[in-house]
Structure 1
Amino acid sequence: MQELIQQLVNGITLGSVYALIALGYTMVYGILELINFAHGEVFMVGAFVALGVFFTLGSIGLPWWLLLVIALVAAMAVCSLLGMGLERLAYRPLLSEAKPLQKLELAIIAAVGSGIWWLYHLIHGGASLLDWALGPLVGAGAAAACWGLFAYLSRNSPPRKTPRLSLLITALGASILLQNAMRLIVGSRDRVPPDTILPSWSVAFAGVQLTLPQLLTMGVSVTAMAILTWLVQRTRLGKAMRATAQDMEAAQLMGIDTRAIVVIVFVLGSSLAAVAGVLFVVFFKSINFFIGFQAGLKAFTAAVLGGIGNIPGAMLGGLLLGLLESLGSGYISSEWKDVFAFIVLVGVLLLRPSGLLGENVPEKV
């Protein structure tokens, strides 16, 4: 009995991470009917940002809770910018008429380009004075290239309805780009955080040990999901998001800035993925550039299981998938733990394509 309870606790912990990532998939799909396959890589970037914070600030004597808060804030900020960049650079030109980049957007691209250049050299042997000097030039070059591309698109690409297959291929391309870019920056080997990040204490409950990483993962996940539920159901912004998801053209006629809503949805989804990335580092203590692909597929399965486009369904699907994977690993074989997600995906698509809480709705045109 104790073993069963322990496996249930492990499953809820793992399912909480899957649920946070799945929320990003289901929110974007609810608005745009787009499967953002690059979302898993956003989660992976959040994990590496948290790891960088732990290595940078972990040795200066900050309390563990303050260090965790700083990691969460930093990961959410970086992943929010990354989500906004994906929406602006990869998806918006296909969903609407391409427009030239604004000055603020160019400044952000330049800053990100410089930061990536410096980070790469800091990780691979240290940055020389020349590397620091070339950083702004690299950032300016990246901004100039993006400006030229979008200026060309805005003059030579007439507005048209983009096929869904083009959006899917773009999402896969963005996923592969981010995955390999991170591999070039941080390397391909596994990275582990310092052992002294969190105190090693646990709580005994019904003969089961609950460790601090497990308690943090479950507590932070539940809090984040509760805040998102309140935001969507109880605020004016949430009402605008639900109206945009139901009918974008009608929402525009009612005075809702649907483009801003789309950006906010990407920011919220990316922030939740960042939270999941930080919790993943805290709980599993080992990350690499490939974790986004694995976790992204399982979170997508969780979103389909609960009902793609349904926020409570994404939460339920994540928890159920985590429980299934934990129980299967504990009572069948840990070598099959990655197979269970795909068995569930095939079964749901065959038996109930709309998911557990999803509904069959007509396709938007």
Structure 2
Amino acid sequence: MLAEILQTLPQVLVDGLALGAIYAVIALGYTMVYGILELINFAHGEIFMTGAFIGVAMLILMTGMGWLAAMPAILALILVLVVTSILTGFMGVGIERMAYRPLRNSPKLITLISAIGVSFLLQDLVRFITEYKRGNYILTGPSMFNEQFAIKFSSISSSFSDAFFKTSTIILIISVVLMMIGLDFFVNKTKWGMAMRAVAQDRETASLMSINVNKVISLTFFIGSALGGATGVLFAVQYGTIDPYIGFILGLKAFTAAVLGGIGNIRGAMAGGIMLGLLEMFAAANLQLLTGGIFGAEYKDVFAFAILIIVLIFKPEGLFGKAVTEKV
């Protein structure tokens, strides 16, 4: 059994890092909003999905106009990522302004219901625009960055098999790492980042210190939504097909990653996303072997959520979160 697990381990690591990188960036949107408003923005998964559709639509349009053939593919992708980030960023700001700000002083359950409502609204809006019919239509973007490479792990040891990946996997991982580093620098080293941390710590005191709380909250939604939209484009390029329902399950798993790492902790969300992606790919490759054929790869989600439950039982604040003492 161990020999078979080791054989698939290199490919599991490559695929797990790619999937975990996507979870990590989406989880950042959840954890940033929660850190400031203590709100679970369940519409964030649909912002990711909308970004995927905007990016694919732009790529299809550029292909039809001949622009994609006239410029380097990486330049076209950067252009699409920038435009999609801006559009989804402003979408996030609009959602906060219309759906969350009027309810800011209401019970948290009401705001949560509003977030779920926005989620279904975006889902159905995209479905209506694309005339999606479940099971009959999946939007497929232009084929990009599909060149295959191999890492020769077998030359290191016969216990391992070779790992194969596409150019898009490299682009995905590099882009996500740059986004994570950029966000971490912004939050910890800039004046606006300091303002965000101040608002997260104590909103009322921050407002007394001449910090514009509404602007800080809008900026938080803009950054989180922009990163989510850009990740949607990278997801579409990496996996090839999208539909209006991808945001639900991916958003749920990214929220799980944020909780796993410690909700409200930015670096914890990053680590939680990577861990969840690796766990899911490991389960998909080896669950049937580990259970003697009782469970197959389709139970990988159960495996990932079971790990989460175990972690939360013994460390409710998450792996990298800090226990907060309630003041009475």
The answer to whether structure 1 residue 247 and structure 2 residue 195 are counterparts is no
- For 2:29 and 2:126, locate their aligned partners in 1 and report how far apart those are by CA, in whole Å: 21
Counterparts of residues 137-176 of structure 1 (less than 5 Å): 161-176=105-120
Q: Pick closer, same or farther for the CA change 1:231–1:205 going to 2, 3 Å.
A: farther
- For 2:197 and 2:307, locate their aligned partners in 1 and report how far apart those are by CA, in whole Å: 28
Asked if the contact 2:148–2:164 (Cα under 8 Å) also holds between the matched residues in 1, the reply is no
Instruction: Tell me the equivalent position of 2:311.
Output: 348
* Paired residue type of 1:65: I
Instruction: Tell me the equivalent position of 2:95.
Output: 86
Asked if the contact 1:26–1:311 (Cα under 8 Å) also holds between the matched residues in 2, the reply is yes
The alpha-carbon deviation at position 351 of structure 1 amounts to: 2.5
Asked if the contact 1:42–1:83 (Cα under 8 Å) also holds between the matched residues in 2, the reply is yes
The alpha-carbon deviation at position 208 of structure 1 amounts to: 2.3
Which of 76, 90, 111 is the matching residue for 2:85?
76
* Paired residue type of 2:308: L
Q: What secondary structure, in the 3-state scheme, does the structure 2 residue paired with 1:58 have?
A: helix
The alpha-carbon deviation at position 363 of structure 1 amounts to: 5.9
Q: Pick closer, same or farther for the CA change 1:364–1:31 going to 2, 3 Å.
A: farther
Instruction: Tell me the equivalent position of 1:338.
Output: 301
Superimposed CA distance per residue, residues 310-356 of structure 1 (whole angstroms, 9 cap, x where no aligned partner): 00100000000000000000111321122233323333332222100
- For 1:245 and 1:334, locate their aligned partners in 2 and report how far apart those are by CA, in whole Å: 40
- For 2:245 and 2:326, locate their aligned partners in 1 and report how far apart those are by CA, in whole Å: 34
Instruction: Tell me the equivalent position of 2:274.
Output: 319
Counterparts of residues 198-209 of structure 1 (less than 5 Å): 198=145, 200-206=147-153, 207-209=162-164
Which has the higher mean CA deviation after the structures are superposed, 340-349 or 26-35? 340-349
* Paired residue type of 1:28: V
Asked if the contact 1:87–1:266 (Cα under 8 Å) also holds between the matched residues in 2, the reply is yes
Which of 140, 143, 149 is the matching residue for 1:192?
140
- For 2:310 and 2:231, locate their aligned partners in 1 and report how far apart those are by CA, in whole Å: 26
Q: What secondary structure, in the 3-state scheme, does the structure 1 residue paired with 2:165 have?
A: strand
Asked if the contact 1:58–1:67 (Cα under 8 Å) also holds between the matched residues in 2, the reply is no
Equivalent residue pairs, number: 299
RMSD over aligned Cα atoms: 1.6
The alpha-carbon deviation at position 255 of structure 1 amounts to: 1.0
Instruction: Tell me the equivalent position of 1:233.
Output: 188
The answer to whether structure 1 residue 20 and structure 2 residue 25 are counterparts is yes
* Long gaps (5+) in structure 2: 1-5, 154-161, 288-295
- For 1:65 and 1:308, locate their aligned partners in 2 and report how far apart those are by CA, in whole Å: 34
* Long gaps (5+) in structure 1: 96-160
Q: Pick closer, same or farther for the CA change 1:363–1:76 going to 2, 3 Å.
A: farther
Instruction: Tell me the equivalent position of 1:286.
Output: 241
Q: What secondary structure, in the 3-state scheme, does the structure 1 residue paired with 2:140 have?
A: coil
The answer to whether structure 1 residue 55 and structure 2 residue 60 are counterparts is yes
- For 2:114 and 2:85, locate their aligned partners in 1 and report how far apart those are by CA, in whole Å: 24
- For 1:45 and 1:343, locate their aligned partners in 2 and report how far apart those are by CA, in whole Å: 29
Which has the higher mean CA deviation after the structures are superposed, 13-22 or 59-68? 59-68
Asked if the contact 2:26–2:251 (Cα under 8 Å) also holds between the matched residues in 1, the reply is yes
- For 1:326 and 1:276, locate their aligned partners in 2 and report how far apart those are by CA, in whole Å: 19
The alpha-carbon deviation at position 77 of structure 1 amounts to: 1.5
- For 2:79 and 2:325, locate their aligned partners in 1 and report how far apart those are by CA, in whole Å: 44
Asked if the contact 1:21–1:296 (Cα under 8 Å) also holds between the matched residues in 2, the reply is yes
- For 2:100 and 2:73, locate their aligned partners in 1 and report how far apart those are by CA, in whole Å: 38
Instruction: Tell me the equivalent position of 1:30.
Output: 35
Instruction: Tell me the equivalent position of 1:40.
Output: 45
Asked if the contact 1:2–1:208 (Cα under 8 Å) also holds between the matched residues in 2, the reply is no
- For 2:248 and 2:183, locate their aligned partners in 1 and report how far apart those are by CA, in whole Å: 24
The alpha-carbon deviation at position 2 of structure 1 amounts to: 4.9
- For 2:12 and 2:82, locate their aligned partners in 1 and report how far apart those are by CA, in whole Å: 31
Extract structure 1 runs of 4+ deviating beyond 6 A: none
Q: Pick closer, same or farther for the CA change 1:274–1:336 going to 2, 3 Å.
A: same
